Amino acid sequence: MLSSFALGIFTVLLLGVVLSLGRLVKGPKMADRVVVIDLLATIGIGMIVAYAIATDEPVFMDVTAIIGIVGFLGTIAFAYYLQRKADD
């Protein structure tokens, strides 16, 4: 029962991903798209937790740490690149 509930949670989070992809396509500047990348990494952590509960596999919980680190580094790198590009 809890596993099907977690799959429902996964589906609702997928709706959030689809919503934010709209902004990724539309975003007038590149900074808006970087915001969406940051958001997608965070939603991805939530989706992985929901999937770990749905399949009852605690191994997937380790993936959240990797996604968190890579998402943070990607955001920082993109922001630094945007700032350098604006300086020139």
Partner 1 sequence: MIRDILTIACLLIGTFFTVVAALGVVRFPDLYMRMSAATKSTTLGCGFMLLGGAIYFSDDFGVTARAIAVIGFVFLTAPVGAHMIGRAGYISGAKLWNKSVVNELEGRYTATALRSGDEDESGGSESVNQAGS
Which of 7, 55, 70, 83 forms a contact with partner 1 (CB under 8 A)? 83
Cβ–Cβ under 8 Å, residues 71 and 38: yes
Minimum distance from residue 33 beta carbon to partner 1 (Å): 10
Minimum distance from residue 65 beta carbon to partner 1 (Å): 5
- Pull the structure tokens for residue 67: 């996604």
**Is residue 32 at the binding interface for partner 1, with CB under 8 A as the rule?**
yes
Q: How far apart are CA 21 and CA 84, in angstroms?
A: 26
**Is residue 16 at the binding interface for partner 1, with CB under 8 A as the rule?**
yes
**Is residue 70 at the binding interface for partner 1, with CB under 8 A as the rule?**
no
Q: How far is CA 56 from CA 8, 12, 51, 66, 86, in A?
A: 15, 19, 8, 20, 47
Minimum distance from residue 55 beta carbon to partner 1 (Å): 12
In the complex, the residues that contact partner 1 under the rule CB under 8 A are 2, 5-6, 9, 12-13, 15-17, 19-20, 22-23, 29-32, 34-36, 38-39, 42-43, 45-46, 49-50, 52-53, 58, 61-62, 64-65, 68-69, 72, 75-76, 78-80, 82-83, 85-87
